[in-house]
A and B are shown apart, each in its own frame.
Chain A
Amino acid sequence: MPPTARSRHSTRALMSREARIERAFRGLTLGSAVTVLVLLSGIIATLVHGSWPALSAFKLQFLTTEIWNPVTEKFGALAPLYGTVVTATIAMLIAIPLAFGIAIFLTETCPRWLRGPISTGIELLAAVPSIVYGIWGLFVLAPLLQRHVQPWLIDVAAPIPGIRMLFSGPPYGIGVLTAGLVLAIMVLPFITSVMREVFRMTPIALKEAAYGVGATQWEVVWDVVVPASRVGIVGGVMLGLGRALGETMAVTFVIGNAHRISSSLLAPGTTISAAIANEFTEAVGDLYTSSLISLGLLLFVITFVVIAAARLLLLRLELRTGRMQ
């Protein structure tokens, strides 16, 4: 074979080899990307399949029944559902104003050199494992609340009709309120982070114009920055809410794990995730296990809707302003 033909031949061989690898690599990346979809479908399929026995036995009553009795095999999701919603609500009531304050401080008043360290400090709250929040909540926060805060709450609320029942009963330390408080700390960094990002995206010209006509710093924040960041704020809050609804270990430690609905926030309760974490390995009988998986399905649907809505809002924002930086 003449040299030119040979080199042409090997070049062609090389090219086809490169092309083959190209096809394989491309297929590999596509396959991995699709894995994400498979994961989601798999989760949905197994949850639906696993919850079928319980859902077909209890039908819609599963959602409206408070009873949770492994002995008589009667199960209802109302108590954990209630606990999930109430703890998440408490968490949001505390975390939103705090996150708002921190985000404002970091973007408006904080000296530049302090910004990095403080942001890092707040974000490290998100890195602390949830089990650590749990043990801290149980051994430090709960006794603190029991001794100093809850008796005071009970005294203060006693004369006020309507509020009284929220803070009645003995101060256990653990309970719905404590769980909400721990959740508030846990979701704080997530909400803060999103708020800070969107506040920072407020056009400088708008703020300078407001300062130019004599607005105070607070007026700039409230009348310029906040309206400009509305979508992002809602997105961040919902992202935090999604976290609060699904958080498991920390809540399991401090909520008391009682399948009942109590008007008092000081009473023990349970949440969907805490009930699953506590009972799943000990569940005897198909109906019991299936009921717990039904709780999982319920949690998945709720958090999926909340998180998806949050992501859509934030996505809209990213599309409008280019990728968030």
Chain B
Amino acid sequence: MTMRGLRKRKFTAWIAMSASALATLIGLAVLALILWTLISRGLGGLSLDVFTQMTPAPGNAGGLLNALFGSLAMTLIGFIIGTPIGVLAGTYLAEYGRGSRLSMLIRFINDVLLSAPSIIVGLFVYTLLVTTMGHFSAIAGAVALAMILIPVVVRTTEDMLVIVPDSIRHGSAALGAHPWRTITSIVYPAAKRGLVTGALLGIARISGETAPLLFTALNNQFWSTDLNKPMANLPVVIFQFAMSPYQDWQSLAWTGALLITTFVLALSIIARVLSGRSGDRHTL
């Protein structure tokens, strides 16, 4: 090989590897830009009023109290409905049904649901609950969120249970324990961190969801704790306020966006630290 060929090859390599570093820089810069925008536009509107006042009519002062409450309530109910189903389903895939055809199918469908458009879930719950009940309701919103949470929890639960070594299952079985006892008193505790991680990732996933709430919980300008009625929630309020022509509404939307992002990113980071891994393939 001639010197010239080598120099050319080294030059190509240098260009390519620099381009890869540049790509990384671009990715990180976009994240920084988004976070900086959120802080610079959202922080100014952050006051006690945000947490104590209702969403205002255009031109009035107000806060996000009803939206924060609604988001919290629906996320919590969605979590309470979805987590047990997700954990139990993940348990089946990892324990009872490990290697079976049915598990293969369920795992595959679950992975598809994990990436499926969330607006489809909104349409589904609309038909299932809103049209049958005759009106939008917080409970329909919570159910929609639960349906989005389930695949996340199923996937993390299974992943976390299969890495528990089989030897301790065998040990428990040798002492005469039924599988359910082995699972609940040996396997679950051993995988505790992982299960908590899964739950946190699930909450992070649903607390920012907007599309499935648009035609289930809808929105409510007023304070409401009635699960049977439309309920305000942060994502839909942000959507409505940001798209409006009113300056004060837009500013509240930014504050809401800052709150929601801080919450979700904090959860993701805690989940990451808990699971002790940087590669987060569970919510792929």
Contact = CB atoms under 8 A, between A and B. Distances in A.
Interface residues of B, number: 98
A105 interface: yes
B281 A185 contact: no
Grouping DSSP codes into helix (H, G, I), strand (E, B) and loop, the B interface class, with mixed when no group exceeds half, is helix
Interface string B234-272: 010011001100000010011001001100110011001
A149 to B, nearest CB: 15
B187 interface: no
Interface string A246-267: 1111001100000000000000
B272 A120 contact: yes
A299 B117 contact: yes
Contacts of A194: 284
B27 interface: yes
Nearest to B126: A280
Interface string A99-129: 1111011101110000110111111111111
A175 B115 CA distance: 25
Grouping DSSP codes into helix (H, G, I), strand (E, B) and loop, the A interface class, with mixed when no group exceeds half, is helix
B228 interface: no
A37 B85 CA distance: 13
Interface string A298-325: 0110011001101110010000000110
Interface of B: 9-10, 12-13, 16-17, 19-24, 26-28, 30-31, 33-34, 37-38, 41, 84-89, 91-93, 95-97, 102-103, 105-106, 108-113, 115-121, 123-124, 126-128, 147, 150-151, 154, 162, 178-181, 183-184, 204, 207-211, 214-215, 218, 235, 238-239, 242-243, 250, 253-254, 257, 260-261, 264-265, 268-269, 272, 278-281, 283-284
Which 8 A-B pairs give the minimum distances between C-beta atoms? A129-B208, A246-B117, A101-B23, A32-B88, A216-B13, A218-B13, A25-B180, A29-B92
Given A25-B184, A36-B150, A193-B279, 15 more contacts: A29-B88, A32-B89, A40-B109, A42-B124, A50-B127, A101-B19, A106-B24, A120-B272, A122-B24, A139-B242, A216-B12, A217-B17, A219-B13, A248-B211, A300-B117
